[in-house]
A = this chain, B = another copy of it.
Amino acid sequence: MLKIADKSFTSRLFTGTGKFATPQLMSQSIQASGSQLVTMAMKRVDAQDQQDDILAPLIKAGVNLLPNTSGARNAEEAIFAAQLAREALGTNWLKLEIHPDPKYLMPDPIETLAAAEKLVEQGFVVLPYVHADPVLCKRLEDVGCAAVMPLGAPIGTNKGLRSRDFLEIIIEQANVPVVVDAGIGAPSDAALAMELGADAVLVNTAMAVAKDPVAMAKAFAQAVEAGRSAYLAGLGAELRHAEASSPLTAFLDTL
């Protein structure tokens, strides 16, 4: 079972609330995914109307909310958003996102570390979204982050694990859970992340933009389980030469 800070998770698939065509579809997809941790932007939290009705069944079903600071361009804005989120949602869990660049939304390593340090001091359970930077991930761990969330590819691109070589180093070195976030575009990507030894993945866009988000959510749930099981079951090595899985029928020679 995955443990982050004081919470335990039987599902290693985290999700988000963005980009779904309707709130109903969002709610149904998240429930189908079996996810127990769902990230959401403060803007959504802010709207005290219809949305709450959507979140209610999720919360009732035991889903934990993970407010994020998406849109924050520096540490100051992120800390302010975090405080608002804590007040509005009654949770000290936080996905820390700081991305000054509006085109690729790549996270800022400097501001993220600075904000993480302060938020940990303020009692937040901080899960920072970062580039797949092994040194940065160690530093975030050192200042007390509860997990690290390195990206697979620029957010929303569905490109898969383009940072694979660096994710492998992060996973090897981490003493906190590693959650691969952003870029995962298909269940096979999620399975691969888990096979590499990631502790969890966060998937949002790939579910939300699918033709059938609910069915896609289920597919991701299965793929994450498959990848985790394969990691535990011990994958074989890649070989340079062929090896027949069927023994050569030597009997043909003897006839």
Which residues of A come within 8 Å of B, CB atoms?
Answer: 16-19, 39-44, 46, 68-72, 77, 80-81, 97, 99-110, 113, 131, 133-136, 138-139, 153-159, 162-166, 169, 173, 185-189, 191-192, 195, 204-206, 208-213, 215-216, 218-223, 225-227, 229-230, 232-252, 255
Question: What residues on B are CB-neighbors of A39 within 8 Å?
Answer: 246
Smallest CB-CB separation from A41: which chain B residue? Answer: B246
Within 8 Å by CB of A243, from B156, B166, B241, B252, lies B156
Question: What residues on B are CB-neighbors of A103 within 8 Å?
Answer: 241-242
Cα distance A69–B204 when bound, in Å?
A: 42
Question: What residues on B are CB-neighbors of A192 within 8 Å?
Answer: 186, 188
Cα distance A221–B162 when bound, in Å?
A: 26
Cα distance A173–B242 when bound, in Å?
A: 14
> Contact: A104 with B241, CB < 8 Å?
yes
Report which residue of A18, A68, A104 has the largest number of chain B beta carbons within 10 angstroms of its beta carbon: A104
> Contact: A229 with B235, CB < 8 Å?
no
Q: How many copies does the complex hold?
A: 4
Report which residue of A42, A105, A222 has the largest number of chain B beta carbons within 10 angstroms of its beta carbon: A222
Within 8 Å by CB of A219, from B108, B220, B230, B249, lies B230
Cα distance A178–B192 when bound, in Å?
A: 23
A200 to chain B, nearest CB (A): 16
Cα distance A189–B154 when bound, in Å?
A: 22
> Contact: A247 with B169, CB < 8 Å?
no
Question: What residues on B are CB-neighbors of A195 within 8 Å?
Answer: 186-188
A90 to chain B, nearest CB (A): 19
Question: What residues on B are CB-neighbors of A166 within 8 Å?
Answer: 106, 131, 162-163
